[in-house]
Amino acid sequence: DYVCTVNRCYFKFLGPLPFFPQWKLKHYDVIVGVLSARHNHELRSVIRNTWFKHLKLRPALSQRVLVKFIIGAHGCDVPVEDREDPYSCKLLNISNPVLNQEIEAFSLPEDTTSLLSEDRIVSVNFRVLYPIVITSLGVFYEADGAGFQRNITVKLYQAEQEEALFSARFSPPSCGVQVNRVWYKPVEQFILPESFEGTIVWESQDLQGLVSRNLHKVMVNDGGGVLRVTAAGEGSLPHEFTEGVEGISGGFIYTIQEGDALLKNLHTRPERFESHLKNLEEEDTLLKEESRIYDDIVFVDVVDTYRNVPAKLLNFYRWTVESTSFDLLLKTDDDCYIDLEAVFNRIMHKKLDRPNIWWGKFVLAVETPNCPLPMGYSFQLPTTESLQCSSEYCQCKNIVNVEIELAIRHPP
């Protein structure tokens, strides 16, 4: 367990927020917010028949505690199979995919002159939205009849990994093949699965800079929507991790994998959407009935996806300060068991009901990356999203107020 006394000077609450009601509200020692997905009816039922039921059988304790399930008011209207990833609600917008042929990812417009920059290291981030295989890495260079006269390395990194997955070195005796003003060399072939995020780094081994262009001054061939170039801050790769200057100094050649499956997915999309929307309507009806029966759900104005968990929590925080009075807020998940008697004993013995207290456990989020796979392998590893919080934590009301105020001042 970790108990943190928050610095009073850093978290300075500037008075009541304008939307806070000023009339007297029912007071609870602890509010328990149970983060729950819309479809987790069975998990909520288990809680209602275990620790929540035990709480209700203890009147002296139940008067001090309010338990609410936190559920997004809106379901995602995009079927899981048609999302960019399972954790968001963004449509995988692929149309007219380029199948059964090699694709040049980047190219220079015909009227663009190839001038050297002062930058000796240039990098670009990209995200794979449907499985691809990179067959070659390339570099911009105009030979002008004198042949290739540079020493340049091109490397591909997976997000947040220090070792390159593969690389190509260009030199006068080994310069590869020139195609459309780009020199290419073949590389070891890996399947880059959907949601893969990577960085290509071009580095000059000479004293001269590279031929590089701004992201918006290079033509990008995304194969019909199977990959996306991401500017700094758009992907999961921290900006400080990227090397050199953001830009493009070459390219890569790739092919789209599992083309038949992709075409089938696109062909059946309309029927899938129709069925999914009907299921959403049924889910809304079930949730309304569940809320009417148990009166223990707070619907927050958020699309219920994993990436919206922070927004779900902030909206619940706002509901707590608008609708109740409390000393501590305990957040948990719908697959966890809470021993509330033990919680109150810890609060009493550790004196955790005072201001500026955050109490919980720091748990390192386990991330299973979408790993690139050697050609011939048929499986893919799932991806999980890392969040800087554990499944349970408890914090005092003034910290809740500060978090709400900071969210209002600095919206995402």
Nearest to 387 by CA among 312, 283, 321: 312
**pLDDT > 90? residue 369:** no
CB within 8 A of 296, min separation 6: which ones? 48, 52, 67, 68, 69
Question: Residue 69: pLDDT band by 50, 70, 90 thresholds?
Answer: very high
Q: Report if residue 132 sits inside a domain.
A: yes
The CATH number of the domain holding residue 165 is 2.60.120.820
**What is the per-residue pLDDT across 313-333, written as a single tens digit (0 to 9) for each?**
999 999 999 999 999 999 999
Nearest to 156 by CA among 168, 143, 172: 168
Q: Report if residue 354 sits inside a domain.
A: yes
Within this chain, do residues 14 and 144 fall inside the same structural domain, yes or no? no
- Please report, for residues 103, 104, 260, 261, 270, the alpha-carbon distance to residue 99 in angstroms, rounded to integers and kept in the order given: 9, 13, 9, 11, 22
**What is the per-residue pLDDT across 27-55, written as a single tens digit (0 to 9) for each?**
999 999 999 999 999 999 999 999 999 99
Within this chain, do residues 376 and 338 fall inside the same structural domain, yes or no? yes
Last residue of a domain, one of 206, 231, 258: 258
H or E segment and range at residue 329: strand 325-333
**What is the per-residue pLDDT across 78-88, written as a single tens digit (0 to 9) for each?**
999 999 988 99
Q: What is residue 11's three-state secondary structure?
A: coil
**Segments in 188-339 forming alpha helices (H):** 259-267, 269-294, 309-323
Say which residue the tokens 């969210």 belong to: 407
Rounded Cα distance between 121 and 138, Å, is 14
Q: Report if residue 248 sits inside a domain.
A: yes
Q: Report if residue 48 sits inside a domain.
A: yes
H or E segment and range at residue 302: strand 297-303
Last residue of a domain, one of 232, 258, 284: 258
**pLDDT > 90? residue 9:** no
Question: Residue 57: pLDDT band by 50, 70, 90 thresholds?
Answer: very high
Within this chain, do residues 275 and 396 fall inside the same structural domain, yes or no? yes
Within this chain, do residues 124 and 182 fall inside the same structural domain, yes or no? yes
Within this chain, do residues 16 and 133 fall inside the same structural domain, yes or no? no
Domain that holds residue 403: 2-75+270-409
**pLDDT > 90? residue 22:** no
Which pair of tokens denotes residue 97? 């995919």
Name the amino acid, one letter, at 391: S
Residue 53 φ/ψ, nearest 5 degrees: -65, -40
Pick the residue with more confidence: 352 or 251? Answer: 251
117, burial (CB in 10 Å: exposed 0-12, middle 13-18, buried 19+): middle
CB within 8 A of 110, min separation 6: which ones? none
Q: What is the pLDDT of residue 234?
A: 53
Within this chain, do residues 116 and 232 fall inside the same structural domain, yes or no? yes
**pLDDT > 90? residue 70:** yes
Question: Residue 105: pLDDT band by 50, 70, 90 thresholds?
Answer: very high
Rounded Cα distance between 96 and 103, Å, is 14
Helix 309-323 with 397-409: angle, nearest 10 deg:
120
**What is the per-residue pLDDT across 118-164, written as a single tens digit (0 to 9) for each?**
889 999 999 999 999 999 999 998 767 677 889 999 999 998 788 99
Note every long-range contact of 283-290, with CB atoms under 8 Å and residues 24 or more positions apart, other chains counting. 283/38, 283/39, 283/75, 284/75, 286/41, 287/38, 287/71, 290/41, 290/44
**pLDDT > 70? residue 364:** no
Name the amino acid, one letter, at 277: L
pLDDT, mean of residues 237-252: 72
**pLDDT > 60? residue 387:** no
User: What DSSP line would sit under 90-155, residue for residue?
Assistant: -B----S---SS-EESEE--TT----B-S-SEEEEEEEESS-EEEEEEEEE---TTS-----EEEE
The proportion of the chain whose per-residue pLDDT surpasses 70, expressed as a percent, equals 82
Question: Residue 217: pLDDT band by 50, 70, 90 thresholds?
Answer: confident
Rounded Cα distance between 259 and 160, Å, is 29
Phi-psi region of 244 (alpha: psi -120 to 50; beta: other; left: phi over 0): left
Within this chain, do residues 188 and 154 fall inside the same structural domain, yes or no? yes
State the total domains in the chain: 2
Within this chain, do residues 120 and 253 fall inside the same structural domain, yes or no? yes
Rounded Cα distance between 133 and 112, Å, is 28
Q: Report if residue 92 sits inside a domain.
A: no
The CATH number of the domain holding residue 335 is 3.90.550
In degrees, rounded to 5, the angle at the alpha carbon of residue 217 between the alpha carbons of residues 215 and 218 is: 75
Nearest to 140 by CA among 100, 175, 111: 175
Last residue of a domain, one of 258, 279, 308: 258
Q: Report if residue 94 sits inside a domain.
A: no
Within this chain, do residues 202 and 114 fall inside the same structural domain, yes or no? yes
